[in-house]
Structure 1
Amino acid sequence: MHVRSLGFRTDLALLTLTGSVVEDRGTHLVVRTPDNPTYFWGNFLLLAEPPFAGGEREVVAAFQTEFPEASHVSVGIDLIGDRAVEDEVAQRFAEAGLDVDRAVVLTASSVHQPLRSLLDVDVRPLESDEVWQQRAELSCEIDPGVDCEKHIRFALRKNSQERALVAAGHGQRFGAFSRDAEHDGEGKGRLLSTAGIFRTEGGVARFQSVETHPDARRQGLAATVVHAAARHALDHLGAQTLVIVADEAEDAIRIYRRLGFADTERQLMLERRPPHYRA
């Protein structure tokens, strides 16, 4: 199956680099991440085309057959063109009981300086175990609907995957850290915002998980860490195209556009989260 979507193509590239298995069934891909079975978008189906009208529940059943132990359902569709077709497909899957996630894939070959100059934070790569632990805890704090006790296990596995990418020279995760005395220990500040960037195909680097603590938003932190990660990719990873994906309904997309990213395509994802994930 040839994947047209730049968003899904870079997703798959990073997943395979971290040990995920992609099975090509011709009409769809089955993506598995054995080391992290609760990773929604590490264990999913990617359809080459939308199903015929009425076939949505068959797709859900196919997912459950492939992932009988999963408490979630995740289905992507390699659909990058007609918005009217996307709307119609999204409506059909919503009626079949799945939540619809519409995202925009943005790209840039250079980035602008953030509008704000932040003097009270340090921006640097994540390195120590303590700092990576902070990153796992931050991923719980940004989502009030998550069961943190369960989510932290997923977050620590995700950390391990990213740290392996860093060790192999594929990229880096940057953080913005406070400079307050209370957290000026071995970790040198509290992690407030973070963004990862990793090389995928030739000349392409993909952002991963831009996260900012709820109490530190609207201060320019996300723009700062995205800019730092972008400069790293352009200067040290040989990247010519930077790829970032954002929910079309969230504020983050405006931050990325101000940094110089432009809308390139759309990405349609459908999911049903487990009961403990209330968001």
Structure 2
Amino acid sequence: MPAPADAPDGIRLTPLESDDDWEQSADVGGSDTPEDRRDARLVFERRRAAAQRGLVESGRARWFGAFDGDRLVANLGIVRLGDLARYQDVVTLESHRRRGIAGALVRAAGEWALEDPAVGRLVIVAEEGGPAIGLYQRAGFAEVARHVAVSRAPA
């Protein structure tokens, strides 16, 4: 897939396909983890990447990556769920944030999802007040519902 005109210079957008793509996806997912917890986080991220790859191979989802040369610097997934498609796991390396890469990925994934005539809505779930809210608003998303979660620390 060619990079959209609005992808930043030097960035190539493409679906994740190869073993190396998926391994890099795990690395990107764990990139913000402190060094003393990185090994354990990579185990988790590799398992998550394997599950994501399974969704892609089922035909229900696609994961897109943004590459700076051969290096994956950002990725996200989108899963088709009947009449809607939901974005998943939007991650950008700190070194490549605020350059329009995530926005270009959001657009590419949305275009892919909307190729299915059954899909009529694109959905993103984001943390209130989080750094991604502005990105999604600039991409044309509007809040339609709130989701509340509660958790408890293990005893």
The TM-score with structure 1 as length reference comes to 0.51
Shift of 1:117: 4.2
The answer as to 2:106 corresponding to 1:226 is yes
Aligned alpha-carbon RMSD (Å)? 2.3
In the alignment, structure 2 segments of 5+ residues that lack a partner are none
| C-alpha separation in 1, matches of 2:7 and 2:18 | 26
| C-alpha separation in 1, matches of 2:35 and 2:137 | 28
**Residue equivalent to 2:74:** 193
Shift of 1:130: 0.7
Structure with the larger RCO, 1 or 2 (CA within 8 Å, 6+ apart) = 1
Shift of 1:237: 6.8
**Residue equivalent to 1:244:** 124
| C-alpha separation in 1, matches of 2:132 and 2:122 | 16
Tell me, what secondary structure is at the counterpart of 1:175? Answer: strand
Q: Relative to structure 1, is the Cα distance of residues 237 and 221 closer, same or farther in structure 2, using a 3 angstrom cutoff?
A: farther
Q: 2:11 aligns with which of 82, 103, 121?
A: 121
Shift of 1:238: 3.5
Shift of 1:145: 8.3
C-alpha offsets along residues 76-99 of structure 1, whole Å, 9 cap, x if unaligned?
xxxxxxxxxxxxxxxxxxxxxxxx
Among all aligned residue pairs of Structure 1 and Structure 2, give the percentage whose two residues are the same amino acid.
37
Bigger fraction of residues in strand: 1
Tell me, what secondary structure is at the counterpart of 2:119? Answer: coil
Shift of 1:236: 3.8
Letter paired with 1:220: G
The TM-score with structure 2 as length reference comes to 0.89
The answer as to 2:85 corresponding to 1:205 is yes
| C-alpha separation in 1, matches of 2:88 and 2:139 | 16
Q: 1:171 aligns with which of 36, 61, 66?
A: 61
| C-alpha separation in 1, matches of 2:98 and 2:50 | 29
Q: Relative to structure 1, is the Cα distance of residues 115 and 125 closer, same or farther in structure 2, using a 3 angstrom cutoff?
A: closer
Letter paired with 1:156: R
Q: How many residues align?
A: 152
Letter paired with 2:125: V
Q: Relative to structure 1, is the Cα distance of residues 236 and 145 closer, same or farther in structure 2, using a 3 angstrom cutoff?
A: farther
Please tell me whether Structure 1 or Structure 2 has the larger radius of gyration of its CA atoms: 1
